Chains A and B, each alone.
Chain A
Amino acid sequence: MKKYILKRITISAITLLVILLVLFLMLELMPGSPFNDEKLTEAQRAIINAKYGLDQPMVLRFINYIKAMLSGDFGVSYTISKNTPITVLLESRLPISLIIGGQAVLIGTLIGLVLGIIAAIKHNTIFDTITTIISVLGVSLPSYVFAMTLIYTLGFKLKWLPLLYQANDPVSSTIMPTISLCMFTIATVARFTRTEMLEVLGSDYMLLAESKGISSFRLIFRHGLRNALIPIITVLAPLVVGLMTGSLVIEKLFSIPGIGSLLVTAIQSNDYNVIVALSFIYSLMYIGIMLIVDILYGVIDPRIRLAKGGSNE
């Protein structure tokens, strides 16, 4: 077990290092610089380069870079809001994105689980068909289609919810973004739960438990769901990716001051430091979640740990 966890952590650390290297090289190779001002003379440019440490050799700069990134010092923003430390920019934005993302994951997983369980218990009935339709739609349609439908109906026509994010009313402003983000989660989780539950419900030990006279509630939740839940953990990682990409669009649509919309703005205005910092944060979250999922999976299911522990499998 120790060996397995150690191996996962090593791979995650190497991945992080590779990402840092790529981010660093990207900055190096990128055309243009934030000091592309024609009014600057060579001497002035040299002074600015020295101020930001851009005149040191590459290896040194990379080591400095890693140190700074890991200690949470992402430098200052060049164009979005000049000379503001990025940590300040993130401070107010990260919580908003995390709240919306967290809500979407929680609500989406819960609804998905319920739908999946109902579909599996009432296999081949109208409930099953409805769940299948919902999950196909949720996987097939981009989140912005849901968002726009919601904006047009609930926001524009019925005027129940605010069209754009309002800082003084965070609860009702996050309803529509959360719903449009969690459709993908609902679809994926429902689909997966249904298949897993069907397989578990058809297994011999369930038949044994049933013949022993266990109540159907206990049967489904204690014996069925617990075993079906294990593989569902694996879909968590792709879900996080879906949420990350989704959040960019959703935050732009609803003008939410989160990190997704910050990244879009940064890309459009070529603000290197902000892009790099956000890429790093996104990678960190993703790698962290992958690591937790892998370890959790190994702890819960010994077969995975044993199979993946060897070098060949």
Chain B
Amino acid sequence: MNSTEKYLPKDFEFVGKDKISKIDQTFTSQPYWKDILSRFTQNKGALIGVICLIIIGTMAIIGPGLNEHTYSSQIIAHQNLAPRIPGLENLGILDGSENMNTSTGTVSINKYISANKEEKTGLEDTYYWFGTDVLGRDIFTRTWAGTRISLYIALVAVAVDMLFGMGYGLISGFFGGKVDMIMQRFSEILNGIPTLVIVTLLILVLKPGLTTITVALALTGWIGMSKISRAQVLKLKEQEFVLASKTLGAKNLFIIFKEILPNIFGQLIVMSMFSIPNAIFTEAFLAFIGLGVPQPLASLGSLISEAFKSFTTHPYMIISPVIVLAVIMLSFNMMADGLRDAFDPKMKEM
């Protein structure tokens, strides 16, 4: 048997400076916001989300003005035209042809250019980038006009959260006692009513439209936010800096808005970002069951709802609004995730 207890010199290796592969990195101290920014920009998903949102936001602003059509103008002769984009049509994609299912099988039809060379359709120089709908309206313009509404809804959701939910939670958490009791019971009861019921009843009383959707969001959107901001205030209000401020004679409102709020603002922004997809979702859902913005206005939800009626024959009509809606939702979700991780890497999903 070999003696295994003995170590030989060759069992060991000298670790010199050149063998150390990992050196601790040192960072200069940096301000809070820079820290957040660097964490946020390292998150690829969040960055992609922001870029997509910037592109969609720009298109929502300039998109409806890019061609001569408006969201409501219709040309009866241009019904059900498939997408046709200059340049791409030479590659054989998006050249205005679509497959039609007939009793004898699937046929490719191009309404822009007649198969018979002699015949003129009058549409040879017409290009509809996303096609036209059953009423002969430009889907490109309507999609971006609809995007405007979705983004408006996003703004409303943030505003409701920030103005209403935050204030409610701050006051309830800071004053505590009876005020908190009453305010909490009130929000608990309101929270017990399903949003679906509130929205349904509201639409009965008011007319379906953008105002109604805004009111519905304002009524229901703030509760989640108020809970978070209240919990945050409860955490902070017993801390020394608040006591110090109180001792120096600061008024309640000063303490709430100047001492506590700046410390919890990050988390609140993150929370409000998470409520955006929810709000857009609500609008798309309402539009889909026919309670959205009235015709000829378009929102992404109502475009999808309209296009669904003919989506087995003209699937292109539904594709662009669905893709834009999906990208908006995904982008906001990824951006919110990124913001949450950036503001507090340890903060768990709420």
Contacts and interface: CB of A to CB of B under 8 A. Distances in A.
A311 B329 CA distance: 38
B259 interface: no
Interface residues of B, number: 44
B192 to A, nearest CB: 3
Interface in B320-336: 322, 325-326, 329-330, 333-334
Contact of A191 (B188, B315, B330, B349): B349
Contact of B176 (A152, A290, A312): A312
B200 A195 contact: no
Contacts of B205: 26, 29-31
A140 B291 CA distance: 21
Contact of B194 (A244, A264, A312, A313): A244
Interface stretch (B62-70, B137-145, B245-253, B304-312): B304-312
Contacts of B185: 11, 14
Nearest to B337: A136
A20 B200 CA distance: 15
B333 A287 contact: no
B311 A23 contact: no
A26 B192 contact: no
Q: How large is the interface on A (under 10, 10 to 19, 20 to 34, 35 or more residues)?
A: 35 or more
A142 B285 contact: yes
A139 B277 contact: yes
A265 to B, nearest CB: 10
Contacts of B291: 267
A156 interface: yes
B197 A311 contact: no
B194 A248 contact: no
Interface string A277-313: 0010011001100100000000000000000000111
B1 interface: no
B196 interface: yes
B214 interface: no
B200 A275 contact: yes
B269 interface: no
B194 A275 contact: no
Nearest to A192: B349
B193 A19 contact: yes
A18 interface: yes
A267 B284 contact: no
Contacts of B333: 136, 139-140
Contacts, number: 119
Interface string A237-278: 000010011001100110000000001100110100001000
Given A12-B192, A145-B326, A275-B204, A282 B197 contact: yes
B193 A15 contact: yes
A299 to B, nearest CB: 20
Nearest to B207: A31
Given A142-B284, A267-B204, A275-B204, A311 B181 contact: yes
A287 B188 CA distance: 11
B290 interface: yes
A245 B326 CA distance: 18
A242 to B, nearest CB: 9
A192 to B, nearest CB: 7
Contacts of A279: 197, 200-201
A248 B196 contact: yes
A249 B277 contact: no
Interface string A209-244: 000000000000000000000000000000001001
A167 B247 CA distance: 73
Interface of B: 176-177, 180-181, 185, 188-189, 192-197, 200-201, 203-205, 234, 277, 281-282, 284-285, 288-291, 304, 308, 311-312, 315, 318, 322, 325-326, 329-330, 333-334, 337, 348-349
25 contacts: A11-B192, A14-B189, A15-B188, A18-B193, A19-B197, A22-B193, A29-B205, A139-B277, A139-B333, A140-B329, A142-B329, A148-B318, A195-B349, A241-B194, A244-B196, A253-B308, A267-B291, A268-B290, A275-B204, A279-B197, A283-B192, A286-B192, A286-B193, A312-B176, A312-B180
Given A18-B193, A195-B348, A279-B201, 8 more contacts: A29-B205, A31-B205, A139-B277, A148-B318, A248-B285, A252-B289, A267-B289, A279-B200
Interface of A: 11-12, 14-16, 18-19, 22-23, 26, 29-31, 136-137, 139-142, 144-145, 148, 152, 156, 191-192, 195, 199, 241, 244-245, 248-249, 252-253, 263-264, 267-268, 270, 275, 279, 282-283, 286-287, 290, 311-313
